[in-house]
Structures are given as C-alpha cells and as structure tokens.
Amino acid sequence: MRSRPVILHLDLDAFFAAVEQRDKPSLRGKPVVVGGTGPRSVVSTASYEARRYGIHSAMSGAEARRRCPNAAFLGSRFGAYRMASDVVMAALHELSPLVEPLSLDEAFVDLSAGDHPDLGAEAVRVIAERLRATIRHRTGLTASVGAGTSKLVAKIASDLDKPDGLLVVPPGDELALLHGLPVTRLWGVGPATAQRLQRIGVTTVADLAAVPVEELVGLVGQVVGAGLAAQAAGLDDRAVVADRETKSVGAEETFDTDVADLARLRDELDLMAGRTARRLRGSGHSGRTVTLKVRLHDFRTLSRSMTLPGATDDESTLRRVVRKLLSEVDVSDGVRLIGVAVSGLSDHVQDELPDLVPAIAVPVTAPAAASPALPEPARRWPPGLDVEHTEHGRGWVQGSGVGRVTVRFETAHDPPGRVRTFGTDDPDLAEVPPAAYAWVQ
DNA sequence: TCTGGGGTCCTAGGACCC
DNA sequence: TCTGGGGTCCTAGGACCC
C-alpha cells in the first residue's frame, strides 16, 4: 500500500470502435461493432451506441446482428489501433518511466517514479486531467483514468467513471469503495469462481471480506484464495512493472466450418507454424516447448506439447514437431480450431545446432503437384478496409458482394463523405495502410 | 449460425535426481 | 522388503484477462 494515490490506470473508451468512428466521420453517433463479421467470429468492441442494444465484447457476431442489424460491422484495423496506442503509451512515458501496458488500450503508471513535486490527491487529479486532454488532442480519443494507492483501486476506479471520466480515490477511502462492489469486479473472478463463491453466499466484496482465508483457499485454491482475501481487505502492494517479458508466442485459427480432412489440417498447421516462426523472429525470440492446440467439433480443447533440447525459431522445425503432435490426436470427428504456440522462450535467437532437434518420423505426404499458373485470387474487400481511388482519393470499404465494392470517401478530418460503387477488380481502387491521425493545432 | 485470438497464471501428477 | 522427502522439469487442462 502506498500512502498517496500514485498509481494511475488508464483505459481508452471502446477503443477499437472509437478509432473507427474517429476515422469514419459518417459513423459518429451510430452503433459500430468491430469484429463479428465472420460466421464464427465474436465482437471485439462495440461503440457505446451499439452497447445500448445489449451488444458487448465476446458476444457472437450472429447475436450482435440479431440485436442491431443496422449497426456498422467492421473488420479490425490493427495498424490504426497500434498507431494510436503508441501515441498514448508515449504520453504515459512523459509522466513516469514506470509504465505497464496491459493491452493496446490499457496501462498502469506509477507516478512516484516520475518527476512530480506533489502527489497528493488534488495534484494527481490535475496530472490525470492534463493527461486526458493530451490524449484527446493527440489521438482524438477519450480515455478514462483511475488513481489510487494500489493497482487494484486504480483499475476499479477507472471503470467507475467510464467513459471519458476520472476518479481519484483518496487514501483511506479504498475499503468503502471496494465493499460495495460485486465480487466479479475483482481480478481473477470469472464465471467459474463467481459461481463457486455464490454457492457459499458470497456476491459482494463485503461478503467476501467476511469469509476466513482458509475457507477461500479450500474453495478456489491457494493462490486465488489468498489473492481474493487480500483484495477484499484492500491489500495490494503489487509493483508496476515496465518491460514484462514475453512468455509464449503463437498463432491459432478457427475454421468457418469444422475440418476433418487430415491433409487440409496439415496445410493449416503449416500456416500457423509459419506465422508463429515469423512472430518469434520478429520479436527476437526462440523457444524450446512447442504446443499444438486443437479444439474439437464439440468445443473440447486438447493440447499436446513437446520440449526440444534446444530453442528454435525455425519454421520447418515447428512444422515437423507440430505434425508429429497432430498424429497423436483423433481428429476424425472434425476440428473447429487449430493452433501452434512456442514457450520456454530465450531472450534472443540462438544459432540452432542441427543435432539439437530430434529426428522425428513424420508421415510423408505426397508433394503437391506443381499446379500450373494458379488463377489470380479474387481481391478481398473486408468492411472497414482503408482504400484509395486514383480519382476520388481516400476512403473505406462500406460493403462488398456480387462483384461490387462500395466505398465511402472520407477521412478523420472531413465531414461525412459520399458513397460510390466499383467493380471488385477496378484497377483504380487499391488497399492502403491506415493513415496516421493528424494532431489538430 | 452460440462460443475469436492474443496471451498469463495456476494446479496436479509423473519422472527423475539427490 | 520397505518405503522418506525435497526439488526440478515436463505435460495437460483449466480459469482468466483484454
């Protein structure tokens, strides 16, 4: 526990959807859903307008469409989100070197490591308001900020005054704040734990605080049990940790329909192994433990792993290991997801000695017959994609189908723009990377 | 048309070593 | 012919988070 409210938690409001509304003026004030466009996809983020229809993160796209068929359903534009996130994280680093990102849109900051003469509640409020204004100016996005004497309190506080809010919890007010909340607001209380707690009559943090630690430990295990007891008592001295090390890297994919064909599964597995290897190399890692993840048609999830004598980031090694692991799983009833992950990471890529990789007997598949002159794949125009037309300029894909693509021509600083329709093979139309947001002076 | 994709952390059992 | 205990590594599964 700190004596002053020096821990900030910042959370960008409806982040992905807010970036879309910022960059697509015609969608401002309207229900926008990012994700949920594919047959088995789920919602990543819903704008506040869409939330009024009951749409929320992790809801299936089908359900979201049922609730609000007229919402704009867009694919993710990670490039744009990443750029906005980088600007926000840079603003946080101006306050303190101790910044711990939790995701693209969330981070803790420990102000006590920064250059601040006064960190009383009122001074912290001023710092946080200035931060929110800076972020609004540089990114066009709103952020909610919570501040308190611990991570626990700061995180809860940022959530209590959302969106576009600020709540500084003065030292001494922590328990009063926590005890009124449902247990599900605490770290580590998901559906399973919430259900167990409910069975012993615990639904609020105040209820939880009345339960002896030993009983909690018996109910949910040593670590979670002790953690819950501490949170209920308002005790949390976890440090803000900058530069957390990556522990694993992987790639996975859910199929539109279940796949039972072994050759097809192996092809998909090769793709996942390739993505994983590229990501490993991109982050300068290599790892020893290779894990295959398989989700069966009935949603049961299996994993098979193998630890190699030495660390690797090599695509063909991953392919061989993961194929071997696949041969240990019965996939004849169909598979809905397949994934590859590498853990046991080393800090940097090592020279791989060939004899470190065990010889693995892999079922040999006939090499694909060299197919002459593959037909040009059809150009894909997912909704939300950034495009540019030689005559009409920049815009985004509003929809596509039956050989046509509809584009709205507008950018962040325009008024809502006009819509035009083109053939999907129009040579004047091209995909472009997301534009950087121009800070308005 | 139920249930993504990127992760982290914990538990429990068995192998193996001292 | 009795039988320990601690530590580490590996594997599989599950809960949880954004």
pLDDT of residue A375: 77
Place of tokens 């859910």: A254
3-class secondary-structure state, position A111: helix
Tell me what pLDDT residue A53 has: 97
Quote the longest CA-to-CA distance of chain A: 74
pLDDT digits (tens, 9 = 90+) for A110-154: 999 999 999 999 999 999 999 999 999 999 999 999 999 999 999
Spatial distance between the Cα atoms of A85 and A292, rounded to a whole number of angstroms: 31
Q: Is the CB of A305 under 7 A from strand B?
A: no
The reported pLDDT for the residue numbered A356 is 46
Three-state SS for A39? coil
Å from A349 (CA) to C16 (C1')?
30
pTM for the structure as a whole: 0.94
What local confidence, expressed as pLDDT, does residue A430 receive?
97
Taking the alpha carbons at both ends of chain A, their separation in whole angstroms is: 41
User: CA–C1' span, A114 to B3, in Å?
Assistant: 43
Which listed residue (A106, A174, A268, A410) is catalytic?
Answer: A106
Per-residue pLDDT, A440? 80
Low-confidence ranges of chain A (pLDDT < 70): 348-373, 441
CA distance A121 to A173: 12
Residue A167's nearest CA partner among A150, A190, A185, A144 is: A144
Return positions of chain B under 7 A from a protein CB: 1-12
pLDDT digits (tens, 9 = 90+) for A352-403: 544 444 455 444 454 555 556 677 778 899 999 999 999 999 999 999 999 9
- pLDDT for position A378: 82
- List, chain by chain, residues whose CB lies under 7 Å from nucleic acid strand C: A 58, 102-103, 105-106, 155, 186-194, 288-289, 300-307, 344
Nucleotides of chain C in contact with protein CB (under 7 A) are 9-18
Angstrom distance (rounded) from CA A269 to CA A441? 49
Residues 209-268 of A with CB under 7 A from strand B: 221-224, 246-254
Q: How far is CA A42 from CA A34, A64, A75, A76, in A?
A: 9, 9, 11, 12
Q: What is the spatial distance, in angstroms and rounded to an integer, between the CA atom of A319 and the C1' atom of C9?
A: 24
Residue A106 is a catalytic residue: yes
Q: What is the pLDDT of residue A363?
A: 46
CA to C1' distance (Å), from A240 to C15:
23
Report the C-alpha gap between A169 and A316 in whole angstroms: 53
Say yes or no: Cβ of A44 under 7 A from any atom of strand B: yes
Say what the pLDDT of residue A371 is. Answer: 57
Q: Which residue has the tokens 């072994």?
A: A262
| Distances, alpha carbon A112 to alpha carbons A7, A117, A149, in Å | 8, 10, 11
Q: Which pLDDT does position A51 carry in this prediction? A: 98
The angle, 0 to 180 degrees and rounded to 10, between the axes of the packed helices A191-199 and A213-220 is 130
pLDDT at A386: 98
Q: Give 3-state DSSP helix, strand, coil % of chain A, rounded to 5.
A: 35, 25, 40
Q: How far is the CA of A250 from the C1' of B6 (A)?
A: 8
Per-residue pLDDT, A119? 98
